[in-house]
Structure 1
Amino acid sequence: MTDSISSFFDQDFKSKNQQVFLPILEEKKVEFFIKREDEIHPFVSGNKFRKLKYNLKEAKKLKKNTLLTFGGAYSNHIVATAVAGKLSGFKTIGIIRGEELDINLSNTLATNSTLNEAHKNGMKFLFVPREEYRRKNTFGYIEKLKNRFGDFYLIPEGGTNCLAVDGCEEILEKEDKNFDYVCSAVGTGGTISGIINSSKKKQKILGFPALKGGFLRDDINQFVRVSDNWKLIKDYHFEGYAKYNDELIRFINEFKQETSIPLDPIYTGKMLFGILDLIKKDHFPENSKILVIHTGGLQGITGFNEKLKSKNETLIHI
């Protein structure tokens, strides 16, 4: 194991807060900024950098040389783990949902930019049936993987654990204390947990889940130290994880055209759609200052566009 992990994760990544100017913001007298966490790194960007930072430091401390994690075919977490692992001197293994992807692996890699990038960075794959994948958190299944692959450092699907939350607590900086609202997309709950823990008492933290289900509040409560300054806005998941419609794709493209800020269709696109809709509906008082966390995920747009192209639908502008 080299010290390359220190040189990558100890860099002083300070994300800029970019102010957004739109007619609706002027009309409603709201100040609106986006924290450009997406600019940290092309693949280990945003919350993925934050979640992996202390996990990889812990793996090094434990003298592990292999990282193993889980994800779907277009997972930001999978490619981020592969790239961060290579940069930090680790071998990486990805347990990927969907055994059909292994039938013609060369074709899968040729048509799936996420898995192709992970593969180029040295990640070994095990493609498993969905029923088997559901057992990923059980002791017996982890032991089975250890018997197959040997010793490894386990990172959960999406990267969320206590160390990931510690990393996400570093998203907010000293100058962010003046914002009234802080907004984040929510997947597994780790990012917003860190933001809640580092927020000021007077701030309101709004989470925008990318998927259906009432389980997220319990997941977040495992990690947060305060419970009265945050809530989940559940009206903008567009019917579930990775679901979309023409209105969402049109919004993402128009937002990029008006602000030059790219959004992904899984997380940040849905969140920004929701925030601006709430602004139109006077959810935020006049003179509110809103900070939106851009959690990255832009690498997945290429793969998403392949799906849109196959359906002859409008593509997302990259």
Structure 2
Amino acid sequence: MTRAVGILGLGHYVPEKIITNTDMEKIVETSDEWITERTGIKQRHIAAPEEATSDLAYNAAVEALKDAGVDPEELDLVIVGTASSDYIFPSTACLVQARLGAKNAAAFDLAAGCSGFVYSLAVASQMVKSGLYNKILIIGAETLSRIMNWTDRNTCVLFGDGAGAAVVGEVEEGYGVLGIDMGADGNGGKFLLQPAGGSRNPASEETVAAKDHTIHMNGQEVFKFAIQIMGKTAKRALAKANMKPEELDMLFPHQANYRIITSAAKRLKMPMDKVWVNVDKYANTSAASIPIALCEAQKAGALKKGDNIILDGFGAGLTWAAIVLKWSK
């Protein structure tokens, strides 16, 4: 049994608080000009003290379920892609499942860094395609502000908080997911990691003092990796969909850095008016960035039925993933 599988509904949520680049100038030695020139970021949303990743995920999920016209009890599975879960265990997905009242759904978190949402869509689409499940809720959600070193100007200016969600299910034949490419190179894991807090380096006075519970990144190495892999994974996904880059109507890249986004567009020979960019408003929200962009595009009327689109991401691991879809809504 195989079925056409696509996205039935979308939702997103970002915290109310905004920290601009001018605000960042008061926190670390940096400038609006420096941040904008190197990243394209102008501001980021930051979770309130009482908000955790599951709260952001829940709000995005409610909107996605409403958009899809799906009741929580119809869900078979909840997947949350995140690098900043509420707890090591239980999973954030279980917390969201309980709060939604999705009592018939299994639930688990997926750890693929910023590739988390695209990985989740790949997993969910194959489960629905096979007939194992009918409706799956996938969420990319992050509160990266909780694991940032606010004294490190090389990382703290880059990230923000937010969540994006999608309901995945059967769609009209010929629409939905057409091609998937996923990959990883664990040798690059050292370039982007949270060194302490797991079983390798459990919490201690020393790890806290060294700020090893925060994001550590070799920006130069990650940038070089991203510049290469974004184009490669996109082209592989297109080949699996028997599609050429010129047939694409829209590119939804991971919103990490404007220069990386423009490089990916150039490799696919796509004009920037076909590339959804919101890194200026939200900064890098990791697994949440692509679903937030998708939801924004839908609300703006930029997506129409039959559009060929590609989701293209990379992240900690190091991981990468791209998915080609024919939009079905």
Q: Same fold (TM over 0.5)?
A: no
Q: TM-score, normalised by structure 2?
A: 0.31
Q: Which structure dedicates a bigger proportion of its chain to helix? A: 1
Higher RCO structure (Cα 8 Å, ≥6 apart): 2
Q: Which structure dedicates a bigger proportion of its chain to strand? A: 2
